[in-house]
Structure 1
Amino acid sequence: MPGLIGPVSDEREGLLDYLAQQRYVLCLAAYGLTDEQARATPTAAPLSVGGIIRHVAATERGWLDTVLGRSPRPGPEPGTAPDVTLHEIIREYECVATRTEEIVSLIDDLGRPVPVPRDVPWFPDDVEAWSVRWVLLHLIEETARHAGHADLVRESLDGATAFPLMAAAEGWPETPWLRPWRPPGPGQSR
């Protein structure tokens, strides 16, 4: 997937494409990491790249359960369980993404009301319902915010940043202004 999404033909496609792009850049923070690195918490916050991805996947799953009128299943905390591999985390996130796209494709009207759950203290008391459109915009926002957190954690691990990681993942050629990320050589930490 390139650095920007292509033209969109309608609102639904645009919302889903922007959400997919944010998922992609979130997962780019994990590109080239070992399972141990994906569990590392090199910043003052107790966040790991793998834990952030797990948390965002659980959040997206919960929101789509809400859209469907189901009680959201509790998801993992942002930490990464030592027995879960990065591959498993990414695969689970891909399954969540596929489910979201399937559900949204079956909804006729993105303005359809989604009742505001009453058991979450930070949700407004004076709003009865959001819309499916609002939920998708909120997921884009949340995914983008967490992608930023994952970028900071990744940069703290080995100095890698988003566009060099994207260039490496997509096989872009080196240019005078952008060098694709490469894993550190033996004895190098960055």
Structure 2
Amino acid sequence: MPAHVPPVADERDGLLAYLAQQRQTLRATAHGLTDDQARLTPTVSELSIGGLIKHAARCEAGWTDLILQRQRGPRREADESDSAEFRLTDKETLADVLDQYEAAARETDEVIASIADLGQGVPVPRGLPWFPADVEEWSVRWVLLHLVEETARHGGHADIIRESLDGATLFPLLAAAERWPAPWFQPWQAPTA
């Protein structure tokens, strides 16, 4: 996929295309990283690229569950802290969380394709301080817009982390991952020792 969303046919196509683009840029920040590098937290936060991708996969699956009013049980280990969701543990691999993210994205796209009206209501969960108590429901459209916003936010975090790791920036990473033709961007290459 190019770095810019292609023309869109309608609202649904546009929302899914922009979500796909944000997913792509988040995944690109992991291009060429080892598991150990994906675990690194080079900024003052506890965020790592692997952890951000893990969180994005869990978050997207959670919103899809909410749209479907489906309970799948906890996505975390019983002893996992809130901040651990943003880290890649020693038991996890970058490939595993990328696969989980791909599966979550595929399911979201399939679910959205099956919904006739993006105005369909999605009940707001109760008892969680980050959800408004005075709103009964959002629309599927709102959920998609939120997923675009959430994915973009974490993609920005991942951009900063990746640049802190090895100086790589988005367009050279995309050029390498997607094998863009010369001469537009020099594709990222792993630093030589």
TM-score bracket, shorter-length normalisation: over 0.9
Q: Which residue of 1 aligns with 2:157?
A: 149
Contact 1:41 1:153 in 2 (8 A): yes
By how many angstroms is 1:119 displaced? 2.0
Q: Which residue of 1 aligns with 2:80?
A: none
SS of match in other structure, 2:86: coil
Q: Which residue of 2 aligns with 1:108?
A: 116
**TM-score between the two structures when normalised by the length of structure 1:** 0.93
Equivalent residues, number:
185
**TM-score between the two structures when normalised by the length of structure 2:** 0.92
Question: Is 1:120 the counterpart of 2:152 in the alignment?
Answer: no
Q: Which residue of 2 aligns with 1:61?
A: 61
Deviations 1:88-119 (A, max 9, x none): 11111000011101111111100001011112
Q: Per the alignment, do residues 58 and 160 of structure 1 end up closer, same or farther by CA in structure 2, a change over 3 Å counting?
A: same
Q: Which moved more, 1:88-97 or 1:75-84?
A: 75-84
Q: Which residue of 1 aligns with 2:89?
A: 81
Q: In structure 2, what is the Cα distance between the partners aligned to 1:72 and 1:11?
A: 29
- 1:17 partner amino acid: A
- 2:6 partner amino acid: G
Q: In structure 2, what is the Cα distance between the partners aligned to 1:72 and 1:126?
A: 26
Question: Is 1:93 the counterpart of 2:108 in the alignment?
Answer: no
By how many angstroms is 1:10 displaced? 1.0
Q: Per the alignment, do residues 169 and 98 of structure 1 end up closer, same or farther by CA in structure 2, a change over 3 Å counting?
A: same
Deviations 1:11-38 (A, max 9, x none): 1111111111100000000000011101
Q: In structure 2, what is the Cα distance between the partners aligned to 1:30 and 1:57?
A: 14
Deviations 1:29-70 (A, max 9, x none): 000001110111111101110000000110111111111112
Q: In percent, how many aligned pairs have the same letter?
A: 58
Q: In structure 1, what is the Cα distance between the partners aligned to 2:96 and 2:5?
A: 26
Question: Is 1:140 the counterpart of 2:143 in the alignment?
Answer: no
Q: In structure 2, what is the Cα distance between the partners aligned to 1:4 and 1:147?
A: 15
SS of match in other structure, 2:138: strand
Contact 1:42 1:157 in 2 (8 A): yes
By how many angstroms is 1:178 displaced? 2.9
Q: In structure 1, what is the Cα distance between the partners aligned to 2:178 and 2:22?
A: 16
Q: In structure 1, what is the Cα distance between the partners aligned to 2:42 and 2:90?
A: 16
Q: Per the alignment, do residues 108 and 166 of structure 1 end up closer, same or farther by CA in structure 2, a change over 3 Å counting?
A: same
Q: In structure 1, what is the Cα distance between the partners aligned to 2:181 and 2:119?
A: 43
By how many angstroms is 1:124 displaced? 1.2
Q: In structure 2, what is the Cα distance between the partners aligned to 1:81 and 1:73?
A: 21
Unpaired segments of 5 or more residues in structure 2? 77-84
Q: Which residue of 2 aligns with 1:26?
A: 26
- What is the RMSD of the two structures over their aligned residues, measured on CA atoms? 1.3
By how many angstroms is 1:71 displaced? 3.6
Question: Is 1:185 the counterpart of 2:189 in the alignment?
Answer: no
- 1:160 partner amino acid: A
Contact 1:61 1:72 in 2 (8 A): no
